[in-house]
Amino acid sequence: MPVTIYPWHEALWHDLLRRRQALPHALLFRGRPGIGKFDFVRKFAQSVACLTPATSGAACGVCESCRWFEAGNHPDYRELQPAAARALEAEEGAQTERKPSQQITIDEVRQLQGFIYLTAHRSRGKTIVLYPAEALNFNAANALLKNLEEPPADVRFMLVSHRPSLLPATVLSRCQQVALPTPSAEAGARWLRERGIENAEILLAQCANAPLAALELNDEGYLNERNTMLTALSDQKPDALSLAEQAARWPVPRVLGWLQRWSFDLLYLKSAGAIRYNPDFKTALARIAERLHALDIAQFHRMLVREQRHAQHPLNARLYMESLLFAYLALLRGERPMPI
Ligand SMILES: [Zn+2]
């Protein structure tokens, strides 16, 4: 069976397969988190290396090269990911003593050099995938740049990125960019419903239409917890203390995500008259947005974005939730929220 691809990527998939004989030596695949970019690129790399591809160009799934791919040990293929992502994939994060790195380091790029300058085992050439490419730290990006500038003829790089703007311009300028699309809300919801997911529309809206991200949210508690949180936020005078007590039991990034999407919707209502993430709370959002100033909401939203980046493990979850919710109360009172 040739490999298959998510329906929202099919058109691009066929287009790229047609061009597989004449690929540039560096491609950058970009798109929203949770749409299946890494899966797409792995299958594309497998197809390029396949010895007996289907007429479409898709990997056959049975030749020696495909078997190597599926066993994760193709001699002409390497993936570079931050240690933290590898640990997560191998589900060994909890057992490692040192916190695994979130970055791709210069040592890891240097370790590739032997592979890059070695002769390929097969005539299809060698492929190196970097995911996510923005995890390259400054020195690692510089080291990679040398390879991108003078690559041996049989090496191709496939960078995968959620946010290419975080990559150095020097790296970007060496790559041909490929934008991976997000499906429409209808197509995404259909795909989720085919997998037996209830509340497909709401889950999808939470993830800016990224279906795989929505699939991950589909656990028992998620929607119940979210509804509890958003119902409390909809209140004229939310009870911050009791909500903080509950919220302290939920994962911090998740709560920050709800608040962030809530404030985004408030801002979006003010500026564009529309809602992106929480259409089921439209009435409450509209009532609140009407009373607030866009600048105050923007400041609250920026504070949440900052917190999402840094405050993953507060010492005291309950106090932390209280400070977040007090900042929200201040916003509702029309005060400019203070940094927490
Ligand atoms: Zn094959």
How far apart are the CA of 61 and the centre of ligand 1, in A?
5
pLDDT average, residue stretch 238-251: 93
pLDDT in tens, 163-176: 999 999 999 999 99
> Per mean pLDDT, which range of 118-122, 171-175, 327-331 is the poorest?
118-122
How far apart are the CA of 68 and the centre of ligand 1, in A?
9
Residues in contact with 141: Cβ distance below 8 Å, sequence separation at least 6, in sequence order: 167, 168, 170, 171
Query: Sorting pLDDT into bands at 50, 70 and 90, what band is 144?
Result: very high
Judged against a pLDDT cut of 90, whether residue 43 lies above it is answered with yes
Judged against a pLDDT cut of 60, whether residue 50 lies above it is answered with yes
Judged against a pLDDT cut of 80, whether residue 96 lies above it is answered with no
Cα–Cα distance, 203 to 278 (Å, whole number): 9
Region for residue 126 given its phi and psi (left: phi exceeds 0; alpha: psi -120 to 50; beta: otherwise): beta
Q: Residue 338's pLDDT is what?
A: 61
How far apart are the CA of 44 and the centre of ligand 1, in A?
11
Report phi then psi at 197, rounded to 5.
-85, 125
SS3 5: coil
How far apart are the CA of 312 and the centre of ligand 1, in A?
42
pLDDT average, residue stretch 213-229: 89
How far apart are the CA of 65 and the centre of ligand 1, in A?
6
Please, are residues 48 and 42 in contact by the beta-carbon 8 Å criterion? no
The residues with which 28 forms a beta bridge, in sequence order, are 159, 177
Judged against a pLDDT cut of 70, whether residue 46 lies above it is answered with yes
Judged against a pLDDT cut of 70, whether residue 127 lies above it is answered with yes
Cα–Cα distance, 106 to 147 (Å, whole number): 13
Judged against a pLDDT cut of 80, whether residue 311 lies above it is answered with no
Q: Residue 339's pLDDT is what?
A: 60
SS3 60: coil
- Give 76's DSSP letter: T
pLDDT in tens, 269-299: 999 999 999 999 999 999 999 999 999 999 9
Q: Which long-range contacts (CB under 8 A, 24 or more apart) does 304-308 make?
A: 304/256, 304/259, 304/260, 304/263, 305/260, 307/256, 307/340, 308/253, 308/256, 308/257, 308/260
Q: Is the omega angle on the peptide bond into residue 211 within 30 degrees of 0, that is, cis?
A: no
pLDDT average, residue stretch 197-216: 92
How far apart are the CA of 150 and the centre of ligand 1, in A?
29
Containing 306, the helix (H) or strand (E) segment is helix 294-310
How far apart are the CA of 43 and the centre of ligand 1, in A?
11
Please, are residues 320 and 312 in contact by the beta-carbon 8 Å criterion? no
How far apart are the CA of 57 and the centre of ligand 1, in A?
10
Q: Residue 155's pLDDT is what?
A: 94
How far apart are the CA of 35 and the centre of ligand 1, in A?
25
Report the chain's mean pLDDT, rounded to a whole number: 91
Query: Sorting pLDDT into bands at 50, 70 and 90, what band is 94?
Result: very low
Q: Global pTM?
A: 0.84
Please, are residues 65 and 122 in contact by the beta-carbon 8 Å criterion? yes
How far apart are the CA of 122 and the centre of ligand 1, in A?
12
pLDDT average, residue stretch 148-168: 93
How far apart are the CA of 270 and the centre of ligand 1, in A?
53
